[in-house]
Amino acid sequence: MSFQKFNFHHQVAGGVNLAGYTVPTPIQEQAIPEVMKGRDVMGLAQTGTGKTAAFVLPILHRLVQGERGLVRALVIAPTRELAEQIHESICQLGQLTRLKSITVYGGVGVNPQIEKLRRGVEIVVACPGRLLDHINQGTINLAHLDVLVLDEADQMFDMGFLPDIRRVLKHLPQQRQTLLFSATMPDDIRRLANDILTDPVTVQVDSIAPPITVSHALYPVAQHLKTALLLELLRHTDTESVLVFTRTKHRAKRLGEQLEKSGYRAASLQGNLSQNRRQAALDGFRDGSFQILVATDIAARGIDVSQISHVINYDIPDTAEAYIHRIGRTGRAARSGDAFTMVTSEDSVMVRTIEKKLNAQLERRTLEGFDYSVPPPHKDTEFARPPRQPQNRKPQSAGKPSKQGSNNAPSDALKASGASAKIQQHRSKPSQASPPQAARSRYPQRSQRAH
């Protein structure tokens, strides 16, 4: 089957030819006809199978013949990177249509977005938070919307975007076409998606499973030895381009810095970075400037890099579906790839869940020559205080006279009541004290300590 059988508008068909598309992928072959009929569609397929074009091409075909300058298609994505990737596909496939597309997300200035919206666009690719800002400020008009697309729907729903999505839906016309495309769709998320679809057609290509070109391996290791094991794996493995997943933003940043200090061309991709730095890290990973990219799950959405040779799970994901999505970053376009996962004793339940999902037992490996017996650092002794230190600090913090003398050899002169009385009298009557020079050398010091 070729793209000519879809009977796209000639301007859309021209864009397909210029993009070098010849034979549609299975998800495109099955989903495009249903989308062109105007049906609500739930499309499920592995990562890297062409889901973006499966909804972009029918949208371009629909919009090219209609009114211009109005927002008629809205694509909602969970991350800035994915939004930019979708926008690039729209521009590439629709380059002959003169349809205008813009991206709308946070982390960048809002005024340029407002200006583009004011000049008129037909397609908006947005992240939920900034989209709601425009809706609340009245800087975007969605009254003429024809098509709504939720891309990576499982991630948006599962990561807490549902409340924002529901708020957006309240501002959209009831009469519209709604499309959901995702790499995974657990049963509970599928039921949730059905709430916002009308009589949907489900298009599922094969089973939701990782590419067969990917080989899997588990590396059991203690938590405190993960970084050392990662460095050893990199030294002993022939890698081209490596994507490392961590559970938290802080860990992604720290691990990226450690890899860089170890001499690797590495960068991190996580939510705390500015959009410019995130884009620079992604572009550098794509063009080979960075050999290793350390990322969190949410930041990795939208990483479409065909030459990734290895995916390493520094932290095991929280769900089997997330595992499938992660390792789907490698083994793309019929290329072989490897997926390594570091697991601790606490990960046994998730390992069994993943194996059940894959219907296969994953190979356990150990790295020869690596010392797995190194004990964890003793943080308690490292930061412990000397035993008597709290006693010395307590009187000072409470603002009471120091008991420093009680910790040293006793002074007979200070114990004598007569001497103490003379000292007290001397302090209360400085005018009767020793010569002025002695007073100047002693009392300013006491006054400075008091302040």
Contacting residues for 328 by C-beta, under 8 A, at least 6 apart:
46, 47, 48, 183, 210, 211, 214
Identify residue 99 by its one-letter amino acid code: L
Taking the domains of the chain in order of start, what are their residue ranges? Answer: 3-204, 214-378
- Dihedral, CA atoms, 413, 416, 420, 425, nearest 10 degrees? -110
- H helices within 147-269, ranges in order? 153-158, 162-169, 187-194, 226-236, 249-261
| CATH annotation of 3-204 | 3.40.50.300
pTM of the model as a whole: 0.65
Measured at the alpha carbon of residue 23, what is the angle toward residues 20 and 29, in degrees to the nearest 5?
125
Contacting residues for 142 by C-beta, under 8 A, at least 6 apart:
71, 74, 135, 171, 172, 173
Q: Give how far Cα 361 sits from Cα of 221, 282, 310, 313, 319, Å.
A: 18, 33, 20, 17, 17
CB 70 within 8 A of CB 76: no
CA distance 323 to 173: 36
> What does the pLDDT read at residue 210?
54
Query: Tokens in use for 424?
Result: 């007290």
DSSP class of residue 400 equals P
- Dihedral, CA atoms, 266, 269, 274, 280, nearest 10 degrees? 50
> What does the pLDDT read at residue 209?
52
Beta bridge partners of 300: none
Phi, psi of 260 (to 5 degrees): -65, -40
Which residues does the chain have with pLDDT short of 70? 46-48, 158-159, 188, 206-213, 298-306, 330-336, 379-451
- What DSSP line would sit under 273-329, residue for residue? S-HHHHHHHHHHHHTTS-SEEEE-HHHHTT---TT--EEEESS--SSHHHHHHHHTT
**Domain 214-378 classification at class level:** alpha beta
> What does the pLDDT read at residue 389?
56
Helices 249-261 & 226-236 angle (0-180, nearest 10): 50
CB 180 within 8 A of CB 197: yes
Which residue do the tokens 């990562």 mark? 47
Q: Strand 292-295's sheet: what is its strand order?
A: 214-220, 337-343, 310-313, 242-245, 292-295, 266-269
Q: Do domains 3-204 and 214-378 have the same CATH topology?
A: yes
Phi, psi of 266 (to 5 degrees): -125, 155
Q: What is the pLDDT of residues 21-49, one digit of tens each?
A: 989 989 999 999 999 999 999 988 766 67
Share of the chain above pLDDT 90, in %: 50
> What does the pLDDT read at residue 423?
42
- What DSSP line would sit under 323-366, residue for residue? HHHHHTTSS-TT--EEEEEEE-GGGHHHHHHHHHHHTSPPPB--
Q: What is the pLDDT of residues 124-140, one digit of tens each?
A: 999 999 999 999 999 99
CA distance 146 to 176: 5
